[in-house]
Structure 1
Amino acid sequence: MLALLALPGPLLFTAYTLAPFVSMLGIPALGERIVGWCRGAIDLTRRLSGDWCEAPVESSYLPPPSEPQPDAEGWYRHDRMVYRTPRVPRYLRRVEWVSEDPATGQDLSWLLLNTVVGPVLGLLAVIGGQPVLRLYGRWTRSRLGVVEPRGWQLWVNGGLRALWQFALLVPLAVLNLVCGVLVVVLFVLAHVLGLHLWWPWCNALAQRLAGLGRRLAGKWSGIPVGELYQPLVEPVPTADGLYRAGRELKSSPRAALHRARYRRAMTDPATGRDLLWLLGDGPVTALLLAPLAVLGWVFLWGLWIPFWVWVGRFFAEFGSPWEQVWAPAKWLADTPLLGMPLGLLAGAGALALAPLLLRLHGRWTKLLLAPTESAELAQRVRRLAETRADATEAEDTRLRRIERDLHDGPQARLVALGLKLSAAEQLVDRDPVRAKELLGETKADSGLALAELRALVRGIRPPVLTERGLVDAVRAVALDLVVPIEVEADVPGRCPSAVETAAYFATLELITNAIKHSGAESIRVELRYAEPVLRVVVTDDGRGGASPESGGGLTGILRRIGTFDGTLQLTSPPGGPTAATMEIPCALS
């Protein structure tokens, strides 16, 4: 029975691998069902291992992802992209769920290796009995159980996962080639027929496919690829009621916006690079796939040659099954003793070569899709101009706030204090008792004015921040709040004063948002320095759903830390938890 269960291994392996392709062809339910069938067959082996071989094996699959939920505007988000319907995000989540699950590599390696081990141990069990069955159970548990993988197992799982991911790139490469040709044809038709509005749509399609290629290169190949496109220059209304887009004047904002989009698509250098990548990804992927296809062919033929030779000899009266096959396959069939070792060697070669070829594909993607130095420099100049304007505006706003607070608070109290002193001076001879009362009120007012001045100074820069630094200032904030806040820090020194101030108030804003808007019951703050970046991570267990695009305090944080080239990464799914990561380049004193 064990030998029979091992025979469909290559068929299940093929079905397991092709399931995402079926989903990509527009039948996601069938693709998920195929994965369910393959995993069901493997779970059957797990149960039989416990019942027959005295080695129960637990399933270690990750739970399926949740259904995509619309945001406040009705869009469905996935990986910095928005979609009108949940179909595409649901499919992408399912593909990532299967491809990034460590148990997937275990399943694939077991399906292939068990094709050899299963029949051998199954036939030996007829002779050896229960001890051989227990050996098979331990073998199954070592491959499919929840155990810490060893070095060679990590290598096999990594190679199989790379094969899986490389196989997923094949239909994407075909899709890229088809869409690249389509974009070229539409571009020519649009400019021949004068339908220029088509081109921004074609450019958006190319950008989406290129963006998917960038994300897959970063996740699967381990080679991050940046994304940089020219910003859209909004049409400018003129005094005579027209709208200017570049050098052209349009009568309506809609026409001016279309012209601005067309202008950006035509002048952005990334447009041509995206198109070249779409057209070249298919041939490059095919070139990288060729050695894997040859090794896979040798592996499958070599692995199955002994079995088919025996079948051919058993049914010799029906003729040789190798008469119409390719010459190398016939040669392997005539030398079955070399077939299995050669097949296993080819399989090991494919496992070793797949991660390397996957990284080469990532390097090819980075070669064409990564921003050029000139584009990065232009983006840097635009970013510096924006941060300088934000810094100037923030400084002006801060000065106005300080002026208003001084005018409405301490200044008003000091004026009242002067009036009371004048009144007391006039009453000191005629009504000493009343003058004494006014002097007591003056003393109290001076204390209130001093307290307001201290609060105002503390709002500009807290004394504990000046004296003790960022870490102790955040800990002081945690002690003053009712919500429990855990602070973990590893900052071996002091940051520049301006950076400490920006990081302190940004952290305070994140904590305030977590308490006020998220309803968090516990907050964790991590402050770490890894040269040359100060990293602050604020995590809460609130309701989630925060987004920098919504404006408010998060926009203020981006402006505050953007002055120092800081970045803010926010992860806040509906239902929580929320994790905000700030990174500010700086040097410690």
Structure 2
Amino acid sequence: MGKTVRQAARATVQLVRAAVLALGSYLFVTVLLITLVATATVVGAGVLPETVRLVRQIAGAKRRQVALWTGREIPEAYLPLTGPPRERLRTAVRDPGTLTDLRWMAAYYAYGCLACLVLPLWPVGLAVDGVWCGLMGREAVVLPLISRVADLDARWSRSLLKPSPKARLAERVEELTETRAGAVAAHGAELRRIERDLHDGTQARLVSLSMRIGLAKRAYDRDPEAVRRLLDDAQDQAEEALTELRHVVRGIHPPILTDRGLVGAVRALAASSGLDVTVLVDGLEGGTKSGTEGGLRAPAAVEAAVYFVVAEALTNAAKHSGSPRASVQLERVSTGIRAVVWDEGLGGADETGGSGLLGIRRRIAALDGIVTMTSPVGGPTMIAVELPCVW
């Protein structure tokens, strides 16, 4: 019986919160009516997006209540209310999430009353000196009823507040639009980097090589020693130009990924980073933790993205963290591949400070991946990426 009492007490708290939110929803009817009148007069149409924003906050509060009761979150799918007034108004009207929230709010007026009616059923019981003594038979029936009403409230709210397929599609389109813009920006930055490397490095050396060959041709008959020196310089310039080209190619797709795979390439990065780097591998080719030596490889684009993240993170750690140690973890997960780079440094990494973190986000977003970063002042810094792929 003690467990039933505790569950009923928890359900009572949940129903009190539901009743308070229902009361707030009743009061919000006035705001909705004012908004409808203002929108009908066109002059006050700018009020509608702000009202929709308030509706989202009320629905969000209910989602959090349900998550607290059931332990499962209800996802949200809203289009952002940003931009000029006309765009915000169009978004507020066309967003499928607006209709979902209003439908829930209308239904909530009904079963919010149910929560208010059930609350008085909580048994007072018998108490002696403030100590609970027991329950009568009627109360023993009422207690489970309170919990069932709380469960019913959560099920109704989950059913009404979950995003519709249309809302999920609209959110996905918006997300893909943003990631496509990021991918285009990252691609443009990469092209500019390649162009700069070719212009400042390889092209300059090739021009110098051409000039030395021209001078050698002119001095061929009258000064053989000068020709030899010029040809030696030309050979040096050609070798340096080849080195520059290899550097550019390595930035596009590191050949070491093809030769050694992701695990071998990351271990090579760790060895050349100047830090004491520990590399942990689980479930990938070259990993031994789960007995998958010679296992499956991720797609080339995914490997290249992970390699870029690890390289950028280790470079940042070597330059800015002040720590001599770092660690890299590569892990095969059910949805793809996960990589985590961690250092014990000073922390305080800033994405707007030119540290390459924005480039990491754009590159990962282009492949529909997720980036998580924590870097409090004083450290440590952790960058984790998860990329979907089919094994």
Q: Give the shorter-chain TM-score range.
A: 0.7 to 0.9
- The match for 2:289 is none
1:454 match: secondary structure: helix
Letter of the structure 2 residue corresponding to residue 222 of structure 1: G
Instruction: State the distance in 2 between where 1:519 and 1:358 align.
Output: 53
Asked whether the 8 Å contact 1:221–1:361 carries over to 2, the reply is: no
- The match for 1:585 is 388
Instruction: State the distance in 1 between where 2:332 and 2:339 align.
Output: 9
More relative contact order in 1 or in 2 (CA 8 Å, sep 6+)?
2
Q: 1:421 to 1:480 in 2, by over 3 A?
A: same
Asked whether the 8 Å contact 2:316–2:355 carries over to 1, the reply is: no
Give 1:180 shift: 1.8
1:430 match: secondary structure: coil
From 449, 457, 463, the equivalent of 2:241 is: 449
State the TM-score, normalizing by the size of structure 1.
0.54
Q: 1:412 to 1:368 in 2, by over 3 A?
A: same
Instruction: State the distance in 2 between where 1:363 and 1:549 align.
Output: 43
Alignment of 1:279-428 (within 5 A): 280-281=107-108, 284=111, 297=123, 300-301=125-126, 332=136, 361-428=153-220
Instruction: State the distance in 2 between where 1:521 and 1:363 align.
Output: 52
1:231 is aligned to 2:86: no
Q: Deviations over 1:299-349 (max 9, x none)?
A: x54x869x899xxxxxxxxxxxxxxxxxx98xx4xxxxxx7xx98x879x8
Instruction: State the distance in 2 between where 1:578 and 1:379 align.
Output: 31
Letter of the structure 1 residue corresponding to residue 245 of structure 2: L
From 224, 227, 252, the equivalent of 1:460 is: 252
- The match for 2:290 is none
Q: 1:429 to 1:406 in 2, by over 3 A?
A: same
Asked whether the 8 Å contact 2:19–2:115 carries over to 1, the reply is: no
Q: 1:548 to 1:454 in 2, by over 3 A?
A: closer
Instruction: State the distance in 2 between where 1:467 and 1:423 align.
Output: 41
- The match for 1:538 is 341
1:487 match: secondary structure: strand
1:176 is aligned to 2:21: yes
Q: 1:451 to 1:308 in 2, by over 3 A?
A: closer
Asked whether the 8 Å contact 2:14–2:69 carries over to 1, the reply is: no
Give 1:398 shift: 2.4
- The match for 2:94 is 267
- The match for 2:361 is 558
Q: Deviations over 1:67-86 (max 9, x none)?
A: xxxxxxxxxxxxxxxxxxxx
- The match for 2:308 is 505
Instruction: State the distance in 2 between where 1:207 and 1:399 align.
Output: 42
Instruction: State the distance in 2 between where 1:577 and 1:205 align.
Output: 38
Q: 1:386 to 1:481 in 2, by over 3 A?
A: same
State the Cα RMSD in Å. Answer: 4.0
Q: 1:531 to 1:290 in 2, by over 3 A?
A: farther
Give 1:556 shift: 2.3
- The match for 2:292 is none
Letter of the structure 2 residue corresponding to residue 190 of structure 1: T
1:384 match: secondary structure: helix
Give 1:183 shift: 2.6
Asked whether the 8 Å contact 1:548–1:555 carries over to 2, the reply is: yes
- The match for 1:200 is 49
Instruction: State the distance in 2 between where 1:206 and 1:441 align.
Output: 74
Instruction: State the distance in 1 between where 2:377 and 2:116 align.
Output: 40
Letter of the structure 2 residue corresponding to residue 221 of structure 1: T
Letter of the structure 2 residue corresponding to residue 496 of structure 1: P
Asked whether the 8 Å contact 2:16–2:119 carries over to 1, the reply is: no
* Larger Rg, first or second structure (1 or 2): 1
- The match for 1:214 is 63
Give 1:500 shift: 1.1
From 259, 278, 285, the equivalent of 1:486 is: 278
Q: 1:289 to 1:532 in 2, by over 3 A?
A: farther
Unmatched runs of 5 consecutive residues or more in structure 1: 1-111, 114-155, 236-256, 310-327, 333-338
Instruction: State the distance in 1 between where 2:247 and 2:240 align.
Output: 10
Alignment of 1:231-250 (within 5 A): 231-232=80-81, 234-235=83-84
Asked whether the 8 Å contact 1:176–1:282 carries over to 2, the reply is: no
Aligned residues: 375
Instruction: State the distance in 1 between where 2:373 and 2:331 align.
Output: 17
Instruction: State the distance in 2 between where 1:271 and 1:451 align.
Output: 58
Give 1:485 shift: 2.8
Give 1:373 shift: 0.5
State the TM-score, normalizing by the size of structure 2.
0.78
Q: 1:289 to 1:546 in 2, by over 3 A?
A: farther
Greater mean alpha carbon deviation, residues 512-521 or residues 208-217: 512-521
Instruction: State the distance in 1 between where 2:98 and 2:245 align.
Output: 56
1:528 match: secondary structure: strand
1:496 is aligned to 2:299: yes
Asked whether the 8 Å contact 1:572–1:579 carries over to 2, the reply is: yes
- The match for 1:76 is none
1:383 match: secondary structure: helix
Q: Deviations over 1:16-43 (max 9, x none)?
A: xxxxxxxxxxxxxxxxxxxxxxxxxxxx
1:190 is aligned to 2:7: no
Q: 1:458 to 1:168 in 2, by over 3 A?
A: farther
Instruction: State the distance in 2 between where 1:547 and 1:360 align.
Output: 46
Alignment of 1:140-155 (within 5 A): none
Q: Deviations over 1:437-492 (max 9, x none)?
A: 22222222222222222222222222221222222222222222233333222224
Instruction: State the distance in 2 between where 1:399 and 1:392 align.
Output: 10
